[in-house]
Amino acid sequence: MLFKKKVPILTVVVTLFMTLLFQTVGFSRSLFEETFNGEGTNNPGTIHIGTLPAKPDPNKPVLVFVQGLTNNSTIWYEGNNMYSLAQQQGFETAFVELYDSAGTPKSYWDNGALLADQLEQISEYFGGKKLVIVGYSKGGVDAQVALIHEGKHHLVSDVVTIASPHWGSELADLANSSSLGWLAALIGQDNEGTQSLQTGVMNHFRAMTDSKWQVQQNRYYSIAGNRAGPLFSNYWFGGTIIPGASDGVVSVASTRLPYAEELAVRNWNHGEVRHGSNSFPLFNNKVQISKPMEAVALHDFSERTNQEELDFLVRGGAQDGFAEETFYVENDVKKITINWMSATELDSVELIRPGKKERKTYNVKSVQDTEFFQGAWHHVLEIDNPKKGEWKIRTHTEEKSAYALLVSFDSKLNKQIKFKEDGNKKNWKNVADIGPGNSRGNTPFTLFYDIHFVPEKGNTNKKIGHRMRDYRQSKRNNENNQIVIPYSEEGSYNMTVDIEGVTPTGDKFQRTVIKSVYIDDKGNAY
């Protein structure tokens, strides 16, 4: 007969504690084979060498994982099986920490230069074995700077870009607009990383990059998601701003490079697309050292710019106590979606509907943003068949804060108003396809616009600077409804235009347009 020996409770507790401690320390040490140039995940320049797979495949390159805006290397292995899947398939791996890891996002010029040095060290560590870069979001753009502009293309065979904004993101335009300036500054998202991803700035980057011979020295692959959800999440919010299909942060069209093979566009949002279970099987068999270069079909980017509608209004400012905004709804609007973004979490908002005098309190669901407006709270309300006329919204905070109001309109008017280039991107014109009535045929508009200008810094690399100049003008123009960007020197011009007009039935309407334009030292606009 077997007897169980009695063990003192204290001994059991100590033993369990030591076991857990050993496992924790052991896991921490075994997560990587080696870490150099720093410790942890918040030191820019740090390189983590992945633990060797059980059966390393000599025919497979080293996978170098590059994170995105405001991320660090943990996005690849915490809540993500990308790292473990790569090991199971015999890949050696490396993970880098760029400037974003320290909470100070930099432009792709700065991150790319840092990554170039890291690629040299990783290549040397693995004895010159070819590398494959797997870049998530802005990390895919950082990688192109390292390979093409910093000359490290010879170290790499393939580049896999996952949800990368190669042509920028409209959310970056919004973050750098005058309407969201207060909020972006308060939550720390008024940074060089976000500035560099404005669509105009990225159009300029593409013009500087895609014609270089170094582009042809690596194979490029792209992966994208087209799910801007779930409902009322920050991905859903992004999908309401970005024209066309998107993952809630980056449009599908923006993820496409003219010389890249598109591996898939699937039903994923921006957070889901980077998961190993989703994207790893798509490039697993593509990235082989011995695989020859292949011709790929060219993608046309014009589809994205042709889908834009004028469907939202933006307001914003500082808040200390009560903040109130007024907006107008025209006739025949099927639905309005009100999104009050704030640096402070709220549980309710107050509304005054047209013809009413009393404020009505509405409970709202709050969702914290984890992307371009990381740290801000979205408070969303949907109203079907809203009454036309003047609406007012008010909120209250106990501490100093900042807010942005975004109202989207489900209205046929959205397709009847156009704000488009007038000859080139330095000149813009507002036009409308609205029949005669109270509009007197030609539909006069009142255009209020702010232009935020950020000049270049330095002459060798195109780095987005800190100094900002504002052009604030209010203009009424019944003939051409035109705005001309006051070009003075090279840099980024972010234009926020508030449009007010009258429909043929006499209803006042309002819309906001945000455009990012980059003008180089020769006066060319992108």
Residues 6+ apart with CB under 8 A from 492: 176, 195, 198, 200, 201, 453, 454, 464, 516, 517, 518
Q: Say yes or no to pLDDT of 18 above 60.
A: no
pLDDT of 501:
87
Q: What percent of the chain has pLDDT over 70?
A: 85
What would the mean pLDDT of 512-517 be, rounded to a whole number? Answer: 94
Peptide bond into 8 cis (omega under 30): no
Mean pLDDT of the chain: 86
CATH number of 312-519: 2.60.120.380
Residue-wise pLDDT for 255-275, tens only, equals 999 999 999 999 999 999 999
What would the mean pLDDT of 141-158 be, rounded to a whole number? Answer: 98
pLDDT of 105:
93
Q: Say yes or no to pLDDT of 470 above 80.
A: no
Q: Say yes or no to pLDDT of 28 above 50.
A: no
> Residue 481: which region, alpha, beta or left (left: phi > 0; alpha: psi -120 to 50)?
left
Percent of residues in the chain assigned helix, strand, coil, to nearest 5: 25, 35, 40
Residue-wise pLDDT for 41-92, tens only, equals 889 999 999 999 988 898 899 999 999 999 999 999 999 999 999 999 999 9
**In this predicted structure, which of 160-169, 300-309, 431-440 has the lowest mean pLDDT?**
300-309
pLDDT of 296:
54
| CA gap 260, 222 in Å, rounded | 6
Max CA-CA distance within the chain?
Answer: 103
pLDDT of 181:
83
Determine whether domain 29-305 maps to CATH 2.40.50.1070.
Answer: no
Per the listing, tokens 């509304």 go with 351
pLDDT of 142:
98
| CA gap 478, 473 in Å, rounded | 16
Host H or E run for residue 375: none
Domain ranges of the chain: 29-305, 312-519
Give the burial class of 334: count Cβ atoms within 10 A of its Cβ; 0-12 exposed, 13-18 middle, 19 or more buried: exposed
